[in-house]
């Protein structure tokens, strides 16, 4: 129970030594950077794994990867990208950095718990990486870890790999819960004066709702992990039916593999939106700032986030159409899946209407934001195909699904990650990232991912099955499909190597970049109004800022500049607001 | 819900619905801690609810063999009710302005909790003696899973109890009072969880 909180006073003193400042830090900004760098590092591992898989698919004669390693790489690639990179980066990275700064708090309300959250996350990453070195290697069960094959002999890593995977997930869930408690409580309890809920930037709204969803959804994965560990180690039969494997009757009997699928997807589908909602929020702020125009339909945007968050708990079984289910069950989930497209479409229209007649600055963050909208629309439209039971069944095990979820859940959020890093980097380091390298990085990544994933839709409709290690001896796969696979591999490697541009830009700019000043994008939200850049411990100097307006006062008619910061008072002080403009902080 | 943005010339903003404000001042630490704990009960509820859901789903499959529950579980229930009541007394003592010695109340609560854990272990032993092992059949696996997860969370609560006791020992009663109030909430929650789990095991055997 860590409750040593000080959201609004200087109660915890600034750490002095290197260790307490940068290692065992309780400062949300340092923890955010720790989270982000760890997530990026582990994401690079997953990127390399995908490159190796693509080499196998595009150049099957090279023999770099054997069948077992292929499945292990596929499993780890998926799990790392979805959970250890995207979830950790959006919630632990951006959530940690931006929530206290955007709502005008000095820190998270539970700084000690926040520190624990990062160290548990790091431990989960270490355990996951350790699975490369256990006997049998990491699990090759596919990122969904379906039993019975996940813990049945013959699957790579069925002895130790799966255990390290599940233990790592359980530790990650502890970390995510500790973080989520902090983010939600901070948003609800530590906002500065004037920062009503309906004045928060959409970034905070996205991360806030995603954190609540994480608190509700991750326990499902936790329960599933615990039950599968028991099945594997202590011989219970929660998920394991009577199975004959390798000619041997296994000791299990009476378990239900479908039960695991329900638990997994009750977590798994909200997880899609745990990643997507922060991305929606961040991209809303990028678009509004760089189009110099208020976000269109702010209240609609907020309610769309809330509604998407709620609905996402009622669509999970659309991942299980091919598992076999009652027809009316499938009907229900098809309908709910299509309904969730409505608030999502509202958000897309509002982004486009924000851009409409805006004063669009094609900066690097803006390019990534626009790239996100396009990619998200492409991925969302193929989602409408897959949401229908009858269309999904022939497409479910093909590359069409690979293309769909990489577009909507891989490329789209990662474009937001890049855009957001280019956008907030000046606040985090005080320096700008290099623009030329940024443009180069954007165009290679954006066009390259389309070159990778567009052809996959075609391969999928052709019937090319996913999760296969090699495609050589299938009559129905023509030579043209193999050529296309080679092309995809070349593009994937190109895009993969292009990320070096980004890493180089990030580290070089952190040291040598152009000085940014406090507010290089002329943005309105609070984090750009800190007295120092990068913000010091405690964020706000002597007095907390006071908020007088929403975060989207861009191009206000009659205003001297094209933006008005949130903490700038109105010209006429309101009589109902007795002491506006003065510090009103409780002395510590 | 206003979706259109109006420009308010008087205030110089294009904010929709400007002027609504509610701000109740900075929160003090005990309030934050209590709200943080209440929020923590959300993922816990989710977890136990999902275990129950899994139990119900599994039970509907044809080969379900119910486990006859040993009477020791009733003893456990009584002990847990007792410890929850003892914590409630300690909480009331901690919130009252009168300076009372909190130590006896805390000790009683902890003893009843340890008694509960011991009684659960006894029940497990009885089940094992009757041949209902963890891996025996799905129903008995669920009995162990449910009671085990619940007991682990209670052990976690005892760590918080240690903090309260240590704070009392160091002569920091204010800190101890905060932790005791949190403990009471947590114990009540775990009591409710146990009653639900026990009820499910009894009624949906």
**Measured between CB atoms, which of A3, A219, A553 is closest to B29?**
A3
Q: What is the mean pLDDT of residues A166-189?
A: 96
Tokens 């110099």 correspond to: A292
**A16: distance to nearest CA of chain B, Å?**
24
* Per-residue pLDDT tens digits for A320-366: 888 878 888 888 999 999 999 999 999 999 999 999 999 999 999 99
- Which residues of chain B neighbour A353 with C-beta distances below 8 Å? none
pLDDT reading at A581 higher than 70: no
Confidence of residue A154 (pLDDT cuts 50, 70, 90): confident
CA atoms of A327 and A438, how far apart (whole Å): 50
pLDDT of residue A253: 79
- Section A196-207 average pLDDT: 94
* Closest listed residue to residue A155, CA positions, set A74, A44, A45: A74
> Per the structure, how many domains does chain B have?
1
Contact between residue A332 and residue A316 where contact means Cβ atoms under 8 Å apart: no
Low-confidence winner among A264-268, A551-555, A557-561 (lowest mean pLDDT): A557-561
Rounded Cα distance, B127 and A400, in Å: 51
Across chain A, what does the average pLDDT equal? 90
Write out residues 57-116 of B within 8 Å (CB-CB) of A. 57-58, 61, 63
On chain B, the residues whose CB falls within 8 A of the CB of A549 are 13, 15, 18
Residues pairing with A249 in the sheet: A244
Is residue B37 in some structural domain? Answer: no
Q: How far apart are CA A338 and CA A317, in angstroms?
A: 13
Residue A459 has pLDDT above 80, yes or no: yes
The residue range of the domain holding B110 is: 69-203
The pLDDT-based confidence of A5 (bands split at 50, 70, 90) is: very low
Q: How far is A299 from chain B (nearest CA, A)?
A: 6
- Residue B108's pLDDT is 94
Residue A99 has pLDDT above 90, yes or no: yes
User: Which residues have CB under 8 Å from B145's CB, separation 6+?
Assistant: A226, A227, A230, A236, A238, B51
| Residue of B51, B62, B141 to mutate, interface with A, max A Cβ within 10 Å | B141
Mean pLDDT, rounded, for A140-147: 92
Return the SS3 of A490. helix
The answer to whether A497 touches A504, Cβ cutoff 8 Å, is no
Q: Is A396 helix (H, G, I), strand (E, B) or coil?
A: coil
Q: What percent of chain A has pLDDT over 70?
A: 94
Q: What percent of chain B has pLDDT over 70?
A: 92
User: Which positions 14-33 of B are in contact with A (Cβ < 8 Å)?
Assistant: 14-23, 25-27, 29-33
Please tell me the predicted confidence (pLDDT) of residue A343. Answer: 95
> What's the pLDDT at A200?
94
In terms of C-beta distances under 8 Å and separation of at least 24 residues, what long-range contacts does A493-496 make, across chains too? A493/A51, A493/A54, A493/A55, A494/A444, A494/A448, A495/A444, A495/A445, A495/A448, A495/A449, A495/A452, A496/A47, A496/A48, A496/A50, A496/A51
Asked if A3's CB is within 8 angstroms of B30's CB, the reply is yes
Is residue B11 in some structural domain?
no
CB atoms B39 and A256 under 8 Å:
no
pLDDT tier for residue A58 given thresholds of 50, 70 and 90: very high
- Rounded CA gap, B189 and B197, in Å? 12
Which CATH number characterizes residue B145's domain? 1.20.120.80
pLDDT at position A388 is 87
- SS3 of residue A465 by DSSP: strand
- Whether the per-residue pLDDT at A434 is higher than 80: the answer is yes
Q: Cβ of A559 under 8 Å from any chain B Cβ? A: yes
Inform me whether the pLDDT recorded for A8 exceeds 60: no
Q: Which two tokens stand for residue B1?
A: 């819900």
| A247 has a chain B CB within 8 A of its CB | no
Q: Which of B12, B22, B25 is opposite residue A559, by nearest beta carbon?
A: B12
Task: Look up the CATH number of domain A29-241+251-529.
Answer: 1.20.210.10
Rounded Cα distance between A66 and A53, Å, is: 10
Q: What is the pLDDT of residue B23?
A: 65
Does B147 fall in a domain? yes
Residue A86 has pLDDT above 70, yes or no: yes
Q: How many CB atoms lie within 10 A of CB A149?
A: 17
CB contact (8 A) between residue B46 and residue A219: yes
From the centroid of its chain, how far is CA A541? 32
**Position B163 in a domain:** yes
A239-274: pLDDT as tens digits: 988 888 888 888 887 788 999 999 999 999 999 999
- Flag if A254 and B137 touch (Cβ within 8 Å): yes
State how far residue B116 is from chain A, nearest Cα, in angstroms.
22
CA distance A274 to A281: 11
The number of helices, as runs of H, and strands, as runs of E, in chain B is: 5, 0
Q: For the segment A497-545, what is each residue's pLDDT rounded down to a tens digit? A: 999 999 999 999 999 999 999 999 999 999 999 999 899 998 998 899 9
Q: Which two tokens stand for residue B23?
A: 């701000």
A552/B14 Cβ within 8 A: yes
Question: Judged by CB atoms within 8 Å, which residues 159-188 of A form the interface with B?
Answer: 177, 180-181, 184-185, 188
Q: Are B180 and B164 in contact (CB under 8 A)?
A: yes
pLDDT of residue A579 exceeding 50, the answer is: no
In a domain, B188, yes or no: yes
A398-414 average pLDDT score: 95
Res A572 pLDDT > 70:
no
Q: How far is A172 from chain B (nearest CA, A)?
A: 14
Q: Looking at the predicted structure, is the pLDDT value of residue A11 above 60?
A: no
Distance, in angstroms, between B17 CA and closest chain A CA?
9
Q: How far apart are CA A156 and CA A131, in angstroms?
A: 12
* Residue in chain A lying closest to B29 (CA): A5
A431: helix, coil or strand?
strand
Quick: pLDDT tens for B41-64. Answer: 999 999 999 999 999 988 888 778
Q: Does A402 touch chain B (CB under 8 A)?
A: no
DSSP letter at A245 equals E
Structure tokens at A127: 């355990």
The answer, for A9 touching chain B at a CB cutoff of 8 Å, is yes
- How far away is chain A from the Cα of B160, in angstroms, using its nearest Cα? 7
In the predicted model, residues of chain B with pLDDT beneath 70 are 1-6, 18-26
Instruction: Record the tokens describing residue A403, joined without a space.
Output: 């293309």
Bridge partners for A431 per DSSP:
A515
How do residues B136-167 score in pLDDT, each as one tens digit? 888 889 999 999 999 999 999 999 999 999 99
Domain ranges of chain A: 29-241+251-529
How many Å lie between the alpha carbon of B89 and the closest alpha carbon of chain A?
21
């Amino acid at each position: 129970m860590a409750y040593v909180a000080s959201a609004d006073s200087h109660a915890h003193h600034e750490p002095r030594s290197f260790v307490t400042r940068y290692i065992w830090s309780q400062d949300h900004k340092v923890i955010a950077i720790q989270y982000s760098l760890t997530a990026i590092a582990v994401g690079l591992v997953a990127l390399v794994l995908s490159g190796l898989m693509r080499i196998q698919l595009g150049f099957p004669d090279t023999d770099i990867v054997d069948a077992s390693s292929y499945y292990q790489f596929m499993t780890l690639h998926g799990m790392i990208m979805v959970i250890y990179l995207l979830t950790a980066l959006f919630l632990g990275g951006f959530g940690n950095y931006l929530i206290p700064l955007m709502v005008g708090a000095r820190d998270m309300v539970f700084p000690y718990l926040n520190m624990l959250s990062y160290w548990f996350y790091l431990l989960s990453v270490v355990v996951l990486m350790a699975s490369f070195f256990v006997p049998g290697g990491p699990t090759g069960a596919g990122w969904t870890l379906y039993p019975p094959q996940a813990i049945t002999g013959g699957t790579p890593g069925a002895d130790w790999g799966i255990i390290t995977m599940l233990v790592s997930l359980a530790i990650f869930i502890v970390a995510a819960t500790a973080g989520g408690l902090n983010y939600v409580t901070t948003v609800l309890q530590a906002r500065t004066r004037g920062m009503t809920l309906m004045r928060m930037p959409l970034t905070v709204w996205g991360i806030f709702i995603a954190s609540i969803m994480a608190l509700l959804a991750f326990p499902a994965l936790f329960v599933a992990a615990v039950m599968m560990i028991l099945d594997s180690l202590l011989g219970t039969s929660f998920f394991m039916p009577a199975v004959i494997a390798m000619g041997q009757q296994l000791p299990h009997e009476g378990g239900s593999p479908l039960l695991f699928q329900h638990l997994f997807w009750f977590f798994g589908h909200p997880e899609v939106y745990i990643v997507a909602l922060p991305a929606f929020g961040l991209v809303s702020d990028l678009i509004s700032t760089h189009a110099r125009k208020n976000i269109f339909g702010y209240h609609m945007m907020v309610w769309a986030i809330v509604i998407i968050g709620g609905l996402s708990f009622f669509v999970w079984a659309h991942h299980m159409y091919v598992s076999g289910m009652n027809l009316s069950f499938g009907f229900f989930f098809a309908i709910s899946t299509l309904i969730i497209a409505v608030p999502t479409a509202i958000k897309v229209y509002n982004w486009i209407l924000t851009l409409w007649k805006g004063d669009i600055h094609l900066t690097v963050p803006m390019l990534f934001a626009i790239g996100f909208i396009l990619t998200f629309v492409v991925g969302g439209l193929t989602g409408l195909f897959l949401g229908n039971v009858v269309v999904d069944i022939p497409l479910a095990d093909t590359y069409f699904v690979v293309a769909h979820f990489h577009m909507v859940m891989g490329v789209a959020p990662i474009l937001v990650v890049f855009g957001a890093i280019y956008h907030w980097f000046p606040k985090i380091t005080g320096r700008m990232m290099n623009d030329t390298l940024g443009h180069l990085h954007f165009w290679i990544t954006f066009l390259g991912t389309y070159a990778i994933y567009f052809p996959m839709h075609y391969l999928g409709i052709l019937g090319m099955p996913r999760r296969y290690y090699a495609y050589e001896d299938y009559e129905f796969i023509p030579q043209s499909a193999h050529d296309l696979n080679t092309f995809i591999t070349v593009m994937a490697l190109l895009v993969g190597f292009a990320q070096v541009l980004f890493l180089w830009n990030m580290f070089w700019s952190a040291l040598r970049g152009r000085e940014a000043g406090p507010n290089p994008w002329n943005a309105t939200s609070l984090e750009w109004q800190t007295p120092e850049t990068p913000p010091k411990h405690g964020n706000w100097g002597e007095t907390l800022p006071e908020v007088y307006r929403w975060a989207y006062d861009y191009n206000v008619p009659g205003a001297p500049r094209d933006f008005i910061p949130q903490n700038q008072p109105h010209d006429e002080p309101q009589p109902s607001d007795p002491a506006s403009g003065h510090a009103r902080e409780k002395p510590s | 819900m206003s979706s259109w943005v109006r420009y308010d010339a008087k205030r110089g903003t294009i904010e929709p619905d400007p002027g609504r404000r509610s701000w109740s001042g900075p929160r003090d630490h005990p309030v934050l801690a209590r709200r943080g704990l209440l929020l923590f009960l959300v993922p816990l509820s989710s977890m136990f609810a999902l275990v129950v859901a899994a139990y119900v789903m599994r039970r509907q499959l044809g080969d379900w063999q119910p486990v006859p529950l040993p009477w020791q579980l009733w003893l456990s229930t009584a002990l847990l009710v007792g410890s929850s009541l003892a914590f409630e007394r300690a909480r009331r003592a901690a919130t009252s302005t009168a300076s009372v010695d909190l130590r006896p109340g805390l000790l009683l609560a902890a003893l009843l909790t340890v008694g509960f854990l011991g009684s659960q272990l006894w029940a497990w032993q009885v089940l094992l003696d009757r041949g209902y092992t963890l891996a025996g059949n799905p129903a008995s696996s669920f009995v162990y899973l449910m009671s085990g997860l619940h007991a682990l969370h209670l052990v976690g609560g005892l760590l918080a109890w240690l903090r309260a006791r240590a704070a009392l020992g160091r002569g920091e009663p204010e800190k101890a009072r905060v932790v005791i109030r949190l403990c009471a909430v947590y114990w009540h929650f775990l009591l409710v969880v146990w009653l639900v789990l026990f009820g499910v095991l009894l009624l949906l055997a």
